[in-house]
Amino acid sequence: MKCIECGGAMKKIHGDYRYLESGLDDIVLGNITRYKCSKCGEEEVAIPSTDDLHKLIAFILILKPTPLMGKEVKYLRKMLGYTSEKFAEALGVTRVSISRWENSGLEMKPDRDKHIRLFFFSKKSDAMQKSPSVMLVIKTLVSNLPMKEDNREIRFQPEDWTAMAGA
């Protein structure tokens, strides 16, 4: 396999991958194959069934026992397909508040946190009910316990989200 940028040789790497493309800092995917150019550093990552992965990440964020972070709120908003204007209107806050939460790097206050999670549930309950993989969501959550506020890493294994296919 050759690098598409420079034609250099790509080295195969297998293992953990921090999924920064999600917009989140602490999502770690296990058992991921990626290729890195030894010359220019260009990377190619092969992540299967990303739609299912994104859905699983959302459900885990909603269920996790630690507070939601601003970036996680942004992730959930995008999963709902809401603009910040629409999200602000739905939650009865200003767009400035949404922007402040999403960019603050801080934890959400408990009441607001709960409100956002319940709102997500109310919009996505159909998807959650239809999903044959509630057990997988629970299993993924449990395998990440205990979740700690000083280590927010959440790990996902491909067999967890690829088993959701068609959900």
- DSSP characters for 87-144? HHHHHTS-HHHHHHHHHH-SBPPHHHHHHHHHHHHHHHHHHHHH-TTHHHHHHHHHHT
With beta carbons less than 8 A apart as the criterion, state whether 37 and 43 touch: yes
Smallest distance from the beta carbon of 13 to Zn ion, in angstroms? 14
Burial of 14-28, coded b for 16+ CB within 10 Å and e otherwise, reads eeebebeebebebbe
Is 10 a residue that touches Zn ion (CB under 5 A)? no
Q: In the block, which residue shows the tokens 């953990």?
A: 16
Is 39 a residue that touches Zn ion (CB under 5 A)? yes
Tell me whether residue 3 or residue 62 sits nearer to Zn ion (CB atom). 3
| Candidate list 9, 20, 40, 165; residue touching Zn ion; CB under 5 A | 40
Tell me whether residue 37 or residue 88 sits nearer to Zn ion (CB atom). 37
With beta carbons less than 8 A apart as the criterion, state whether 88 and 80 touch: no
With beta carbons less than 8 A apart as the criterion, state whether 75 and 22 touch: yes
| Candidate list 24, 29, 32, 37; residue touching Zn ion; CB under 5 A | 37
| Candidate list 1, 2, 5, 110; residue touching Zn ion; CB under 5 A | 5
**Binders of Zn ion: how many residues, by CB under 5 A?**
8
Tell me whether residue 6 or residue 20 sits nearer to Zn ion (CB atom). 6
Is 158 a residue that touches Zn ion (CB under 5 A)? no
Residues contributing to the site for Zn ion (CB under 5 A): 3, 5-6, 8, 37, 39-40, 42
